[in-house]
Chain A
Amino acid sequence: AQSVTQLGSHVSVSEGALVLLRCNYSSSVPPYLFWYVQYPNQGLQLLLKYTSAATLVKGINGFEAEFKKSETSFHLTKPSAHMSDAAEYFCAVRVDSGYSTLTFGKGTMLLVSP
């Protein structure tokens, strides 16, 4: 069954520093992978998605993620963190076992300090 694992429940960076949020997936079929962001008291917003086209995917707010099949990874990066990036980030994979839904990781809280 498809699943994702997010490494680190909390990541702290300074403003202007590189953001790296890790996600590893498990899938027996070519995966569809997603990153979502959740700001406090809000729903989840799609940041970017990988659907077997280009391996480097660019999303909103300057985020990007690279699909690496050999490492079964789909890590999220941003060159320079802003205070407004502080939020919880979720990696997700499309489940493909008779039906089609998304299963989410446990989430990583990104903390940005001045």
Chain B
Amino acid sequence: DSGVTQTPKHLITATGQRVTLRCSPRSGDLSVYWYQQSLDQGLQFLIHYYNGEERAKGNILERFSAQQFPDLHSELNLSSLELGDSALYFCASSPREAANYGYTFGSGTRLTVV
């Protein structure tokens, strides 16, 4: 157990729907990062939050949004889902704003859009 908790582990939904993925960072970590992993694109950085504030955006679609709450958990919202959104979504956390010492990853949420 890495200490980073992601729920749900699996999600199957239909095209056009909206889902919310949840992440609780490791105790004491203030930064949360979201990544998408797919066979063709590999690991793609989506977004980074530090202590409730957005710090960086990567290849995140406009249909996707995220936030980090005062208790430091984070949610990734995916809307108007398309078949191509099927992927593993990982959350990672780190103690500080800078990723100098790496991240701790959760076990991921596998999203299947049908």
Contacts and interface: CB of A to CB of B under 8 A. Distances in A.
Interface of A: 32, 34, 36, 41-46, 49, 51, 90, 92, 94, 98-107
Interface of A, helix, strand, loop or mixed by DSSP: strand
B42 A102 contact: no
B46 to A, nearest CB: 10
Nearest to A100: B98
A101 B2 contact: no
Contact of B106 (A43, A46, A107): A43
A86 B101 CA distance: 25
A49 B102 contact: yes
15 contacts: A32-B99, A32-B100, A36-B105, A42-B107, A43-B106, A46-B102, A46-B104, A49-B101, A51-B100, A100-B99, A101-B58, A101-B99, A102-B102, A104-B42, A104-B43
A45 B56 contact: no
